[in-house]
């Protein structure tokens, strides 16, 4: 019986060591930070946005694709309010390999990229010992 209990405990410990860490959720307050991520971990960046102004977040400094890949970007309209009310824009990236990379998002209208309304920059360090965040 003790042998069975010891084996069961070992399996639980090993399973806990191989779990993929949860997603990392970031907002504008994380601008300029350096974060640590484990391979396959998802990084979600949520920033205020207002599509009615023509402004949108644009990836202007792409991360090293061997370290971090862009997965998606989506505008989320306002939960309350009418025309002209702002929402958020969500960007997702996935850590794919060990290394260090940067990314930068700028908030501008596609027809006027010199008129920047905001910026978000991030340094991401990916490695097996990088978890937990930060």
Give the number of other CB atoms < 10 A from CB of residue 99: 15
Who's near 53: CB < 8 A, 6+ residues apart? 109
Cβ atoms of 107 and 86 closer than 8 Å? no
Domain extents in the chain: 21-126
pLDDT over 80 at 5, yes or no: no
Residue 5 DSSP symbol: H
pLDDT of residue 128: 73
Q: Which CATH number fits domain 21-126: 3.10.350.10, 1.10.1060.10, 2.60.40.2020, 2.20.70.10?
A: 2.60.40.2020
| Structure confidence by residue, pLDDT tens digits, 31-74 | 999 999 999 999 999 999 999 899 999 999 999 999 999 999 99
CA end-to-end span of the chain, whole Å?
41
* Prediction pTM value: 0.79
Q: Which residue has the higher pLDDT, 82 or 109?
A: 109
Torsion of CA 72, 88, 52, 59, to 10 degrees: -40
């Amino acid at each position: 019986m003790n042998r069975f209990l010891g084996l069961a405990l070992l399996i639980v410990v090993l399973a806990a060591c191989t779990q993929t860490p949860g997603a990392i959720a970031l907002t504008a307050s994380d601008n300029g930070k350096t974060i640590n991520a484990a391979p396959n971990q998802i990084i979600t960046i949520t920033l205020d946005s207002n599509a009615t102004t023509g402004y949108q977040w644009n990836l202007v400094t792409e991360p090293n694709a061997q370290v971090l890949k862009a997965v998606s970007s989506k505008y989320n309209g306002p939960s309350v309010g009418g025309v002209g009310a702002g929402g958020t824009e969500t960007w997702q990236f996935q850590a794919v390999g060990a290394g260090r990379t940067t990314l930068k998002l700028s908030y501008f209208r596609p027809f006027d990229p010199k008129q920047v309304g905001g910026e978000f920059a991030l340094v991401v360090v990916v490695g097996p010992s990088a978890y937990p965040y930060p």
